[in-house]
Amino acid sequence: MTNPVLVEVLRGAVVESLHRGAVAVCDGEGKLVWEIGDTAKPVFPRSAVKAIQALPLVESGAADAYGFGDRELALACASHSGEPEHVETARSMLARAGLDETALECGVHWPGNHAATIALARSGGVPNALHNNCSGKHAGFLCACRHSGVAHRGYVAAGHELQDMVRDAMEAVTGAAHDADHCGVDGCSIPTYAVPLRSFAAGFARMATGTGLGPVRANAARRLLSACMAEPFMVSGTGCADERLMKAAPGRIFVKMGAEGVYCAAIPQLGLGIALKCDDGAIRAAEITIAGVLAKLLAKDEDLAGNLHGQAIQPILSRNGVKVGEMRPGGALVEQL
């Protein structure tokens, strides 16, 4: 099936570009309460499931042993923008486990935050693996290995004991089999598994409610989502959509973007999980879509819904800073809002 239009990009009065995709909203029992498009099709969740991938860090006792609070747990679930606070927090997480950035196997890239890149270059510096947007997740992986007595070298590879723990957590929480036929390698070198989009929505409803997870996992899940909601900057960075959306309703909205147009989210008070994927992989469209979906689900709180609806409409500016267009919910998303 062809997924419907979710987002339209206008220049002046003309629709210049369109984005299609699918949205699933589930409860903790796995019941689909709302969907747009094909939510049964397997998709790679990419970084949108980092909070689930961080469960072994907490469940193993490593997070407590190393004294991690909300900031460290949020960074373990983050795609951060390489700003100094992110880098220093990742460094300190590793130090508590007796490691440094040379243990990270995520690769190196310049900070996602432009000002951080310029400042690093101006200081004569070059990036290292701590600047990688996944360094917090990888620091969490390494801490889980160290605390559990697992040799950490090669921890990114499918088949390493740590990745088995991560996959087991993913399967248990999403309820979907993670098999080798649907396994790819993520940008930071760890395995990523394509499973039905709706399974991720169900998984994040379970992360928020604990439904069916058992007490240890349910507690770890709540701690991780609470940490992200308490420290949205650590999950993302200055001006990022994740920070903006979680700041709109502290403690009431969890969101996490993933590469190639994915978002996962949860609204704990409603017991709902959300997962969406834009067919074309556009993160700009995923940001509009998640804001629009949250506005719909939280419509009863008019102030909050107004804020979220505002975030679902983003101006397009010329290089002189003049508004020349906008991105907004369109097609199936607007019909259902």
Q: Which three-class secondary structure state does DSSP give residue 140?
A: helix
Q: Is 17 in the site for a copy of itself (CB under 8 A)?
A: yes
CA distance 165 to 159: 10
Which one of 1, 159, 302, 322 is in contact with a copy of itself (CB under 8 A)?
A: 322
Cα separations (Å) of 224 from 7, 88, 94, 146? Answer: 30, 20, 18, 20
Rg value, the chain, Cα = 19
Q: Is 118 in the site for a copy of itself (CB under 8 A)?
A: yes
Please answer whether residues 256 and 235 qualify as being in contact, where contact means their C-beta atoms are separated by less than 8 angstroms: yes
The least CB distance from residue 77 to a copy of itself, in Å, is: 19
Stretch that binds a copy of itself, among 40-48, 65-73, 143-151, 215-223 (CB under 8 A): 40-48
Which one of 279, 288, 293, 332 is in contact with a copy of itself (CB under 8 A)?
A: 279
Can you say how many angstroms the Cα of residue 49 is from the centroid of all Cα atoms in its chain?
A: 6
Q: Is 297 in the site for a copy of itself (CB under 8 A)?
A: no
Q: Is 175 in the site for a copy of itself (CB under 8 A)?
A: no
CA distance 87 to 137: 12
Which one of 102, 181, 215, 300 is in contact with a copy of itself (CB under 8 A)?
A: 181
267 Cβ neighbours under 8 A, 6+ residues apart: 208, 252, 253, 254, 274, 294, 297, 298
Which one of 61, 65, 69, 121 is in contact with a copy of itself (CB under 8 A)?
A: 121
Q: Which amino acid, 298?
A: L
Q: Is 283 in the site for a copy of itself (CB under 8 A)?
A: no
In the complex, the residues that contact a copy of itself under the rule CB under 8 A are 2, 9, 11-14, 16-20, 42-44, 105-110, 114, 117-118, 121-122, 124, 132, 181-189, 192, 194, 260-261, 278-282, 285, 318-322, 324-325
